[in-house]
Each structure stands twice: as structure tokens, then as C-alpha cells.
Copies of this chain bind each other. A is one copy, B any other.
Amino acid sequence: MPRPTGPPIGLALTRTAKAVSRAFDDALAAAGGSLPAWLIMISLKTRSLGNQRELAEAIGIRGATLTHHLNTMEADGLVIRRRDPANRRIHQVELTDRGETLFRQLAAAASTHDQRLRTGFSDEEIATLEQLLRRLQHNVSGEAHDRASRSDA
């Protein structure tokens, strides 16, 4: 069983992720939003999603958690849910005008945040970082590991 060559990369990643995520949360909050709301809106705008389950999966949360956020967002007048006439089990989620406005504000905040993140990085370095991140994600998101492979229920 070979040991890691250097200091745990997971620890460095955890620390950076915490600091960067917190900064991003703060930026979104200052613009009147939140990370889940932003992820939901960006998914609604950029992807063609069939149902809420796909939406939840795209964001990395469970269906009930998505419902929770949609309830808040609907109460805030950001989205409306209406049933699909063709299959009334499906609730179609749409941004309201107010939702569109907030989306643009959050997009601006995210852009500003991104420029702050990119400070001192060349385009090539950003590309390298993106590639490394993708590979990291792949390494953990592949097959479930041992712990989950035995089903005793």
C-alpha cells in the first residue's frame, strides 16, 4: 500500500475550497442571492432539463432539497412552477421577470468574483486549472468506493 508522495492534496483542496466558496457565497449574498439559488437559476437558463430530478442532479442535491429551495425562490417571486399539460406529474420551473433580473445581478457578481479569482493567472494557467479540476472530480465521482458497495438493507 503506497503512501502519498507529498502532503495531502485533499487538505489543500479543502482549505482552498472553503476560502473560495465562502468568498463566492458572500459575493452572491451581497447581490441578494445565494449559492443554491444561483446554481438553480444558471441551470434553468443554460440547460434544457426535463424535470426537477434532473435539475437536482445537475446541482448535486436531492429532490427534496431542491423543492425546499424552489419553495423559497417561489415565495420570493423568483420562479413559478406550473404543471406540464402533457404530463401533469412534471412541474415546469420558469424564471419570473424578477428572477431574470436577479439572475443578471448574480451573473455580474459572479463575473466580478471570477475576475478576482483570475488575478495573476494567464489563460493557459486557467486552462490547466480547469483540466486538473475536471480530473479531480472524475476521480471522486466515478464508481462508488468500497464503503458503499455492500448493501445490507
Q: What is the CA–CA distance of A147 and B22 in the complex, to the nearest angstrom?
A: 14
Chain A residues within 8 Å of chain B by Cβ, number: 58
Q: What is the CA–CA distance of A92 and B53 in the complex, to the nearest angstrom?
A: 48
B9 close to A130 (CB less than 8 A): yes
Q: What is the CA–CA distance of A18 and B27 in the complex, to the nearest angstrom?
A: 18
Note all chain B residues with C-beta closer than 8 A to A26: 147
Is A44 an interface position by the 8 A CB rule? no
Q: What is the CA–CA distance of A2 and B140 in the complex, to the nearest angstrom?
A: 35
List the B residue with the shortest CB-CB distance to A10: B114
Q: Which residues of A contact B (CB under 8 A)?
A: 2-6, 8-24, 26-27, 30, 35, 39, 42, 60, 110-111, 113-121, 123, 125-130, 132-137, 139-141, 145, 147
